[in-house]
């Protein structure tokens, strides 16, 4: 279902369990340390998804190591992102000449633990979510906000190699269009000689999941995304 969040030119592969064998390279095994079996399995499946997505771009298989923030290190000329949560793993990749950065995140469509919303959302965002909850109660908007901000960070980091706190991006949702906009409250990266002031993305719900996606096009105007007639529902 994740493919519908992204425009053409972005390769996406997803998995809903760890049943398919997913062998790891030694360099990847070294990243796991003493991780428990569950963590190893989800990591391996996510890496398998990433390798399959890279294969769709014509890239040969190889290890996908990690940077200082544990972000995946992609082959030269490629940008991408990986996500995994309970019952879901996915990877998206694209040619860097077409897209400067991608962001993706998946979360269960359930409420955030108590006290977390106050740490990730400002007063205006909490008011915005309260209105959305009244209008569309089937969506856990607090969790969707968390997911959107995770996707924002994954799109931000390759462009800046700097941390971005939850309170440095303000997110608003359009429930009818299944889109979101993130306004940066910190100095943004310079893209094509212009400072980037925010990101736009899409979201969907399905199979008990909330999934968010961002694609930062290398050329403007922004690319057109596919409609989501069968994937969004309340």
User: Rounded mean pLDDT of 215-231?
Assistant: 56
Identify which has the larger pLDDT, 194 or 112. Answer: 112
Can you list the alpha helix ranges (DSSP code H) found in the chain? 26-32, 37-56, 117-120, 123-135, 141-160
Secondary structure class of 187 (helix, strand, coil): coil
User: Rounded mean pLDDT of 61-86?
Assistant: 95
What pLDDT score was predicted for residue 220? 53
Question: Where are the chain's structural domains?
Answer: 2-217
pLDDT mean across residues, the chain: 92
User: Rounded mean pLDDT of 208-223?
Assistant: 82
What pLDDT score was predicted for residue 221? 46
**Per-residue pLDDT reduced to its tens digit, 25-65:** 999 999 999 999 999 999 999 999 999 999 999 999 999 99
> What's the whole-model pTM score?
0.91
**Domain 2-217 sits in which CATH superfamily?**
4'-phosphopantetheinyl transferase domain (3.90.470.20)
Q: Is the peptide bond before 205 cis (omega within 30 degrees of 0)?
A: no
User: Rounded mean pLDDT of 81-107?
Assistant: 97
**Per-residue pLDDT reduced to its tens digit, 117-159:** 999 999 999 999 999 999 999 999 999 999 999 999 999 999 9
Q: Residue 107 and residue 146: Cα distance in Å, rounded?
A: 9
Q: Residue 145 and residue 15: Cα distance in Å, rounded?
A: 23
Core vs surface per residue 146-158: b (16+ CB within 10 A) or e: bbbbbbbbbbbbb
């Amino acid at each position: 279902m994740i493919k519908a969040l992204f425009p053409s030119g972005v390769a996406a592969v997803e998995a809903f369990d760890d049943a398919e064998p997913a062998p790891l390279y030694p360099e990847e095994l070294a990243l796991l340390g003493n991780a428990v079996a569950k963590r190893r399995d989800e990591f391996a499946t996510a890496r398998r998804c990433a390798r399959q997505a890279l294969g769709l771009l014509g890239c040969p298989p190889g290890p996908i190591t990690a940077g200082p923030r544990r972000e995946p290190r992609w082959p030269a000329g490629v940008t991408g992102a990986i996500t995994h949560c309970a019952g879901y793993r996915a990877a998206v990749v694209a040619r860097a000449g077409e897209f400067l950065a991608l962001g993706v995140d998946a979360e269960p469509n359930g409420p955030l633990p108590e006290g977390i919303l106050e740490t990730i959302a400002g007063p205006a965002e909490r008011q915005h979510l309260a209105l959305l909850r009244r209008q569309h109660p089937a969506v856990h908007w607090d969790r969707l906000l968390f997911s959107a901000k995770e996707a924002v960070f994954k799109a931000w980091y390759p462009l800046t190699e700097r941390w971005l706190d939850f309170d440095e991006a303000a997110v608003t949702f359009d429930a009818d269009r299944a889109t979101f906009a993130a306004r940066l409250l910190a100095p943004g990266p310079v893209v094509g000689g212009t400072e980037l002031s925010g990101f736009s993305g899409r979201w969907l719900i399905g199979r008990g999941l909330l999934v968010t996606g961002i694609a930062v096009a290398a050329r403007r105007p922004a690319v057109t995304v596919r409609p989501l007639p069968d994937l969004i529902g309340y």
